[in-house]
Amino acid sequence: MNDKEYFFKNNIKSIEDLFEFAKSIHYGWVDQNKKIHSGVNDANDYSLQSPLELIENKIGICWDMTELYRCWFSTMTNLKFETYYIFYEDKKGCPSHSILVFYKNSHVYWFEPWFDDKDFYYRGIHKYDDINELLENFKLIFFKYLKFKKIVERDASIKNIYIYKYNKPKYHINGHQMREHIDHSVLM
């Protein structure tokens, strides 16, 4: 069964279907031995899932989710899309998030089924006039989220946030290999 047939079989036929399906994915990760874990991933043991594995496992992190979106948009639409990775350089864990954006009718959209905390809600398909406006808002929202969740120190600086535009990575790489892939991408 090819990807398109698989998406149809799982009733993921429209952008709205993909958005609803993505909301059903639980936060967690799969290790190199295919064992499922909840919570924050371990960079050494983490394994980037293929989109079909993510659909089956229904658990992943933003990197897994973004690859599902990439596969869906490339298979099911003719829309231009890009993937971005944001991180806060803190010399510790470097909190991060990745997203897919797509272009439609002279606008660009941030596809965000997560960020659904009742006290910090930014779930949605957010419309912007251009990519620069979207990325600047991505940076501000992400920084507010990190401060709200107390993931970064009180005196954290937005200047420590970096955004990369990245291409499709290989599946089943670990967290260090994923960061290496991103580090060789385009710094925005």
The answer to whether 123 and 113 have CB atoms below 8 angstroms apart is yes
CB 129 within 8 A of CB 49: no
pLDDT tens, residue order, the chain (188 aa): 688 888 998 899 999 999 999 999 999 999 999 999 998 889 999 999 999 999 999 999 999 999 999 999 999 999 999 999 999 988 777 889 999 999 999 999 999 998 777 777 788 999 999 999 999 999 999 999 999 888 898 889 999 999 999 999 999 999 999 999 999 999 88
The answer for residues whose C-beta is within 8 angstroms of residue 151's C-beta and 6 or more apart is 88, 95, 145
The Cβ of residue 17 has, within 10 Å, a number of other Cβ atoms equal to 15
The domain locations on the chain are 3-187
Q: Is the pTM of this model over 0.85?
A: yes
DSSP state of 139: H
